[in-house]
Amino acid sequence: MSQATPPLPSLLLTELCRTMGSSGSTCCSDGRVKAEELLDDVKEKGIVKVTEESAEQAQAAAMKLAEDAKSGKLLQDAKDAAASAQVAAEKLAEDAKSGKLQQDAKDAAASAQVAAAKLVEDAKSGKLEADLKAAAATAQGELAAAVATSVTITFEQPMPMDKIFTKRPLGFEYGPQAKDGCCASGSSGRWAVTKITAPELRELRQMGDQPLKIGAVIVKINGVAVGTKKDKPEFDELIKKSIAMLPEA
């Protein structure tokens, strides 16, 4: 079965590209695309319509160029461009003659050398390391302040329940949990809610949420177990540090 003969523009361009070799590959590629676009236009609109449109575009461009030439705008644009180029060239030549160009280069090199020497000196004396540590500490502190916008406390009543706190005070008071059993005495080493001062902690905020109740045991702060061996001052300090970054209500 015979293959269809390629369109005439493609055949001509293919032969031209073969003759020109690799040096004309880009030009030929662009030309082939334009030729195929032109062929598509001819097929769609007809040769007469395409020719008329091309002629109208060329005529409009020529009329614009002629208008600029008559009004002097074309000449003025060329003069302005030439004047700007001349000013820049004269400035560069003047700086080179006066030594300013060379001096600017020397000044830049000297500044770079001073900065490098200072960096080496700081590295030897340990100042550079100290500065880096201080900057890292500052960045870490800022990051911690940005992250600590809330505190999550896990309560057990009797099932575990998380409550998120965003302001101080927390809205509840706590005390030592008594040991279980009718004859038991002393503390279990755990800390439980003894009073609720914020009404919202008693409310259901969303589906699946639970209100906080008296007797709920504090078991974790931000996912870390609080343990059962802290006395009152130690537990107070733990709570204080955990909520220190929260804003006051």
Over residues 182-207, mean pLDDT:
78
**CA gap 198, 173 in Å, rounded:** 10
The backbone torsions φ and ψ at residue 80, rounded to the nearest 5 degrees and listed phi first, read -60, -45
> DSSP characters for 147-159?
H-S-EEEEEESSS
Both tokens assigned to 163: 């409550």
Closest CA to 148 of 129, 166, 173, 128: 166
- What is the percent of the chain with per-residue pLDDT over 70, rounded to a whole number? 70
pTM, 2 dp: 0.41
Give residue-wise pLDDT tens across range 60-78: 877 887 787 788 887 888 7
Closest CA to 20 of 8, 29, 9: 29
Of 27-41, 99-113, 117-131, 235-249, the range with the lowest mean pLDDT is 27-41
Burial class (CB in 10 A: 0-12, 13-18, 19+), 172: buried
Looking at the chain, list the stretches that DSSP marks H as alpha helix, in order from N- to C-terminal side: 8-20, 25-45, 47-71, 73-98, 100-125, 127-147, 232-242
Cβ proximity of 162 and 153 under 8 Å: yes
Give residue-wise pLDDT tens across range 155-185: 999 899 999 999 999 999 999 998 765 554 5
SS3 172: strand
